[in-house]
Amino acid sequence: MRCEVCGDEIRGQPHRKVIEGGRLTVCGRCAGFGSGEWSPNMPPRRTRGDPSPPRRPRSEVEATEGLELIEDYGATIRKARQKMRLNVEDFSRMIKEKESVVKKLEQENLNPDRKLIRKLENALNVILLEASTPTAVPVSRKASSGRTLGDILKQSQTEEEDDEG
């Protein structure tokens, strides 16, 4: 093994020294240049801009669950189908589904499962899933009172008016 600083053959134990930010294996003479030591067992420090972060914050499953059907998926399917000059019959044959399934989908009377959604997306070259947006209004509060803030305000106003009369 050779010293990475002076290039001389290292006799005895090599010194692992951090010199100017780099990890070098150096001889005893050059060991004095180091600002610190490093261990070969230590994983290399990740620099900023590393293309592969060590851990993804969201797993594949979570990412999929965060998606939901777009609001006008029925119209999207119908428009895309018409763009391809396919009638319901042709299209249903193309995706190997029943005509009634396609009709229900376009009327939004049927919630397609993930498999069907993917099939439709691929066949029609459309996007039917979007990232679900968390609702600003907490559901629990609305459910417990059974009325919205607007209703409560309206009611209190009505009560005030009643008091005057």
The minimum distance between CB 16 and Zn ion, in angstroms, equals 13
Rounded CA-CA distance 53/43 in Å is 14
Options 26-34, 43-51, 64-72, 140-148: segment touching Zn ion (CB under 5 A): 26-34
Q: Are 129 and 69 in contact (CB under 8 A)?
A: yes
Options 27-35, 91-99, 138-146, 149-157: segment touching Zn ion (CB under 5 A): 27-35
Residues 4-23 as x/- pattern, contact with Zn ion by CB under 5 A:
-xx-----------------
**Is residue 86 involved in binding Zn ion (CB under 5 A)?**
no
Q: Are 35 and 56 in contact (CB under 8 A)?
A: no
**Is residue 27 involved in binding Zn ion (CB under 5 A)?**
yes
124 CB-side CA count, 13 A: 30
DSSP secondary structure letter of residue 70:
-
Give me the residues that bind Zn ion (CB under 5 A), please: 3, 5-6, 27, 30
